[in-house]
A and B are shown apart, each in its own frame.
Chain A
Amino acid sequence: MSKNQSENASFLLEDEEESVEFREPISIESKPLVLNIMEMHFSVGQIFWTMTSGKRINLFNSGDWIQKSYLNKFLKANKTLEIEPQINEHYCSLGLELFKSFVEAEEESDKAEIREGLIEWLAKGYWNAEEEVGMLDLAFVCAQTFYSFSEEEEDLLFESSTELFKRSSVIGSMLVCLGVVVGYLDTNLLRDLYHISFLFDCSLDEVTLSTNLISALENERNNGSEWEEALSESEKETFLNHSKNSASRASSLFSKRISNPGLVHFIEVHHEKINGKGFPLGLREGEISDIEGLIIFVNNRLPFRDLNFERGDASSLFKNLMERGAQLETVLTKRLKKIITNEFENRDSDHAKYLEISGV
């Protein structure tokens, strides 16, 4: 009898011990960054081929999409390629580790914790400029984490619009990062958002993206209304319908890439403005959800042209984008400004859970 009792007691004790199990906080540290060109989607610096004569041929500029088939030609011929990285390697490495653990995290609470780390990481470079960071760093880290277009899809996208492809990689990265800041923590959702950024204008380049249309995009971005001047009637129609057409093209051609087919609808709003003067729907601030607001904002903040990326060219990027720029008031909802600024500036432990919106 007494034996039984003692057994029971120890059993209970064991149980108690188990329940007090202590979970260690997640710690993420940067590891030495190994840059493998073949595993890179967008170049982090100029990639050269040095000929036997000593002459250096430039294969890819900073931020260019690395076409693997082209690269393979050199590697098969046993040519040595060199890369001159323009990134902050320590910073990128930390970012990669953070995103890696974010993607791998299964528990929502872990994600929230890593989100904290990510916001801190972003704040250091892209808000407070404590670190020297460039567009390349952001694009590199996000591409390595989220990019997964197949070769056929890449060809489909790249053939017609090299310039926008490079731009899209930055837009996608900004969207994903701000998405995390605003509280969207589902990995698939973020991955979809990243890929959708490449598809915003995919119907414009169905045949070939003419310079006219690109300049129209740029004009529309800058002043909202004077985009039509350079376009012919038919181009105007193409332009006005491109948001809708891109969405349907995306759902027919890129459905494999997008896990949540509904998200394709968000492509339709990428030229909306919060003052009702965007197109095609002419939505107003009160009709725009946060995710749509982010899309409208990031798509409007980068120029439509071949961008030159340099080391450290984007310190305080988000802060600058949030605080100044032409037509800012037409693309940034008060609410997003409040949430994002708050997340970056008032770092305290509650932020993982509470995104304050009162007092906007």
Chain B
Amino acid sequence: MEQDKILILNLFEKLSQEIEEVLSLDILEVVQSIDELDNRAPLYILKPESLSLEENALFEDSRILSFQNIGQTQEFFNNQGDVIFNPDFAKSDIGKVILERFFTKSAVVQMESAYEQILQKSFSTKFSNPLTVGYYSDIVTKFAHSEKADVSGLRTFLSAGSSFFSFLAKEDLGWFPLDVDYGVTEDALVVQITAPVSKMYKDYILQSLQDKESSNAYVGLLNICSKQTHALDLHYLEKSNKLLFTGVWLKDESSLSKDFFPSVLINQLYTYEEHKELRKNNITSKIKLSQEEVEVTYENIPGSIVETFEEEGIEETRNLPNIKKLVQFIKKYRENEEDAPLDEDLNIRDIAKYLRKFPDQSVITQLEQNDRELILKCFKSETMAEEVEETINTVKGGLDKEEFLQTVLDNLTELEVDDVVTLSNSDEETEVQNIKSLEDEEDEVQNVKGLEDEEEFSKKVSGGEEEKDDFKTIIGSTEKKKEKDLFVKSLGGEEEEKGVLKFKNLNSQGAPKSKKNQQEEILNIKTEKTEQEDVELGNVREEMRARNKRKHDQEELILSGEWEEKKRKITEKLNANLEKMRNGEETSSIEEIEEELKQVFKEGLGSEELGEAVARGIADNSSDRLIAEKLDSVQRTKEKLEKERSLQAVAMRDEQILRMKKVLDTIKEENSSLKTKLYEESQTSENDNITSANSEETKEFKLLKGSVDLLKKEISIRDIAFDKLKESQSVALENKDKKIEQLEQRINTVLDSKSKDGDNDLAVEMKKVSNENRLLQSQIEVKDRTIDNMNRRIEMGKQDGNHKENVELERVKEQNRAALEAMQAFKVEKANLEVKLRAALREIKQKETEATILKDKDSKPSADHSMELKDKDKEIQTLKIENGKISDQTKAITIRCKQLEQKMKFLNAQVESANKGRGKMSSGGKSPSSGREAKLALKLKQLETSREKMSMDTQRLSSQLDSKKKEAVGLTTENNLLKNKMAELEQKLNKIERKAS
């Protein structure tokens, strides 16, 4: 439990009672002296400004709070200071809550829960954009005024605060809308602004908190805010990226001592540098850290005022140690260079130029473009160079010590006297000097020979190497065992030298053949090259040789003869150290090992300077090699990860494709099973319709069905389309039928009206219609029969595969014919009805004339009129009955028609599917079946169009019928009128007759 507590180091002798109260919270543990810390790092340190804190690793990450006035606020905040708190403020409830909230890091966005216990009233408003802040500020201010809070600074606070956020928004560091919560407690007004922000550093706050005149409008905004409130509290919620910005105004201003100013709390905000440190301390793996290491560039974005941080990562490559070396080399070189351009003016070409001067060109060839750029960056920015250094150090710190020592030992065994000499001379300065003087001379040569720049450099290198070879013969040493990159600081051009040495080495040690062969090849090429250059560069090399010889001669004397003995001693010592380390006795760091190494060499060689140089050379080389390896492995891991990721993506896609395929398959299966079901059902219904004679054939057909089903699966998709077509056909037919029915109904009504004035002629016509109906019926029967025949033929055709196409074609033709016939029959029927209508009209006209005659006769008595009327009524009734019969018949006909059509549709479908199936089966002869399909489709289309035409005809006829009906209605009304008049006239007649009598 103890560890969960927040540790606070209090260095104030006396704190106010209210603050003590806050500090007595269960979650806090307060200690009064450094000794009491027991080596635990305190999270917070409460400290008076006058007391300076001793350097202590425990305090590195601690935050400092002051309960006294601070003179240099900026300095305080910049150095881990987070809180300046007026002790008087803690007397208020709100002050206590704010202080508690700081210690317990428990800020929440919702103000009503943050100050739950003490808040009396609270409201929320939104600053949706910077343009309308004024309106909402007024709302808050009016509220504050109504609550008798001090509003003098409130509006300024809100406007400066929102300006601060506007600036952040301008730099994409934050954005609107802001949630503004405000409320009152018993003794204070609180306003809390919640602003969404991106990564937030304390630097942004401090820049704006500065109390100085600046042309930068951002500077000072928060300072204004802090001056307008009694306490300003800033709290960053890192996870959800929000900045809580709270201002507090005490109602009783006099309770605060006037000389204390201001109260500012900065919660959970760290400067960029602190943040980096924190990150370092939190991350265990050093390698991981180096990957995350970032570089800061302070930059004022054009048109902006906020100083922002741009994170820029160093991509560490295995070349990092080389880069460091090259940077050092170039620096030294530039120090000796005349008219050297300024660091800031360097460009990538300059870097390339310097790199060409580097003795070991094999290092240069390994560089990539990124590395060159990094070198350039190191010159442009000091921090970048430091960053590189730091990365290397971090990696170095993470090296395995055993491995390190082992490498040192390996290097040592490979070390020869001349190497020692070279090492002791490998002061970069002299090296550069050498190159420079050499260069000067070469320039002359170049003038004479007109050589190119690049060639010039390679010559220089080979020259150095040659010189070494000569040196070797002088000392008379036998063999050299040098690895690649070993002692890169030595003057020799390693590339060739290494090759030569390796060659020897391999010969003596008997390395695997394949490798040897390879290297031999390389060597041959290189020696050739060297020889060529030898010829060209004779005089330059001579000069170099002479120069180096002088130096080496002196040291060679010191070392020769004793070297082997000394080396043996040193090796023994180191071996002993290594043994210790393996046993876990030694736990020193790399630096300590290096130091120890120096000591050993100093003792072993008897010369302090020489010992240190050699030790440094060996250690540097070993660590560089290991670092390179380590970085290389990091790089490889990264590449591997990337590769895995891309593989994963591919796998994901494959998976998705497979899944889609499965889904498709199931859909297909479902389709085909549905098809079969449908087919079976239709088959049974068909069997009901078709005469029993077909039943045997049907059985046979069922046997074949299996094979047909197989075909159907293949054409299921087309079938669906066909089903849709069928559907649309059926709908069209239904519509047509409805229309026919309507027509009939209309005719009936017309006939009804007519029959009132019915006549013998009409009855005759009715009979005619019924006859026609009978005729139609017989026609339908014929059609029935033909359809039955067709059915039979289909069955036959299905059994006899060879004749299927013909049968289907014929059947379709038949169907079309039948359909056309049916349509024609309908047309005839309609024509008849029209005729009837016309007759009815004629009848009406007749009636009219009769009526006029009656009018004329109006004065004459006519006793037989009533008799006539009675007769007519009788006739009408009989006509009505007959009409009813006829309509029944027509209904029956239409039903029959419908049945036929359905049958036709079904047959169509069957033909189509069978045809398609067969088309698939005989896929060898594609064109004929597809041709047939096309024909069928054409036929179907024709059928469709004829149907459409027919429906159009029906529409036309119905509209005609409508008009006729209207006419008929008009006439009937007229007729009625006339009848009435007739009745009146009759009455008058009767009266007249009575009077006459």
Contact = CB atoms under 8 A, between A and B. Distances in A.
Contact of A186 (B143, B177, B655, B732): B177
A291 interface: yes
B652 interface: yes
Interface stretch (A6-14, A62-70, A133-141, A261-269): A261-269
A287 B128 contact: no
A260 B176 CA distance: 8
B125 A355 contact: yes
Interface stretch (B34-42, B110-118, B457-465, B792-800): B110-118
A49 B892 CA distance: 34
A265 B198 contact: yes
A232 interface: yes
Contact of A260 (B126, B175, B952): B175
A211 B656 CA distance: 10
B954 to A, nearest CB: 11
Contacts of B111: 357
Interface in A258-309: 260-263, 265-266, 269, 281-283, 285-292
A9 to B, nearest CB: 35
B899 interface: no
Given A232-B655, A291-B177, A360-B112, A55 B196 contact: no
A286 B113 contact: yes
A183 B241 contact: no
A69 B183 CA distance: 54
Contact of A357 (B107, B123, B135): B123
Given A260-B176, A339-B124, A287 B109 contact: yes
Nearest to B728: A55
A290 B124 contact: yes
Nearest to A290: B179
B121 interface: yes
Contact of A289 (B179, B648, B653): B179
B15 to A, nearest CB: 29
B513 interface: no
Contacts of B947: 53
Given A232-B655, A262-B176, A290-B179, A283 B112 contact: no
Nearest to B735: A54
Given A234-B651, A281-B240, A358-B120, A333 B110 contact: yes
A20 interface: no
B242 interface: yes
Interface string A95-135: 00000000000001100000000000000000000000000
A360 B113 contact: yes
A283 B241 CA distance: 11
Given A53-B731, A360-B110, A235 B948 contact: no
A34 interface: no
B951 A261 contact: no
A283 B169 CA distance: 23
B119 interface: yes
Nearest to A288: B109
B58 interface: no
Contacts of B125: 183, 353-355
Interface in B108-155: 108-113, 119-126, 128-129, 132, 135-136, 139, 143
Nearest to A359: B112
B876 interface: no
Contact of B109 (A183, A289, A339): A289
Contacts of B649: 234
Given A210-B659, A234-B649, A263-B175, A288 B240 contact: yes
A358 B123 contact: yes
A53 B944 CA distance: 10
Nearest to B136: A108
Given A54-B731, A234-B652, A288-B240, A262 B174 contact: yes
A245 B653 CA distance: 18
A350 B780 CA distance: 82
A189 B196 CA distance: 14
Contacts of B123: 354-358
A104 to B, nearest CB: 15
A135 to B, nearest CB: 26
Contacts of A232: 652, 655
A40 interface: no
B722 to A, nearest CB: 16
Interface in A327-360: 333, 335, 339, 353-360
A353 B135 CA distance: 10
A211 B128 CA distance: 38
A7 B241 CA distance: 64
Nearest to A281: B239
Interface string A129-164: 000000000000000000000000000000000000
A252 interface: no
A282 B239 CA distance: 9
A183 B175 contact: no
Interface residues of B, number: 56
B242 A289 contact: yes
A81 interface: no
B181 interface: yes
Interface in B942-959: 947-948, 951-952
Query: Which of A52, A238, A266, A353 counts the most chain B CB atoms within 10 A?
Result: A353
B732 A55 contact: yes
Interface in B510-567: none
Interface in A30-75: 51-55
A310 to B, nearest CB: 25
B732 A53 contact: yes
B194 interface: yes
A185 interface: yes
Given A207-B653, A234-B651, A358 B121 contact: yes
A240 to B, nearest CB: 14
Nearest to B135: A108
B172 interface: yes
Interface in B926-965: 947-948, 951-952
A108 B112 CA distance: 26
A273 to B, nearest CB: 13
Contacts of B112: 335, 357-360
A212 B735 CA distance: 44
Nearest to A182: B126
Interface string A170-191: 0000000000001111101100
A265 B241 contact: yes
Interface string B168-210: 0100101111010101000000000010101000000000000
B124 A355 contact: yes
Contacts of A207: 653, 656
Given A53-B735, A290-B124, A358-B122, A262 B172 contact: yes
B240 A287 contact: yes
Interface in B700-742: 728, 731-732, 735
Interface string B93-111: 0000000000000011111
A54 B121 contact: no
A149 to B, nearest CB: 22
A358 to B, nearest CB: 4
Interface in B220-258: 237, 239-242
B183 A358 contact: yes
B526 to A, nearest CB: 49
27 contacts: A52-B952, A53-B728, A53-B948, A53-B951, A55-B732, A108-B136, A182-B126, A183-B124, A183-B125, A183-B126, A207-B656, A210-B659, A232-B652, A234-B648, A235-B655, A260-B176, A265-B175, A265-B198, A283-B239, A289-B109, A290-B124, A292-B240, A355-B123, A355-B124, A356-B122, A357-B122, A358-B183
Closest 7 CB pairs of A and B: A262-B175, A286-B108, A186-B128, A234-B652, A287-B240, A108-B135, A358-B122
Given A108-B135, A260-B129, A281-B239, 18 more contacts: A53-B731, A55-B735, A108-B132, A210-B656, A210-B659, A234-B649, A262-B172, A262-B176, A265-B175, A282-B239, A285-B110, A286-B107, A288-B109, A289-B109, A291-B179, A354-B139, A358-B119, A360-B113
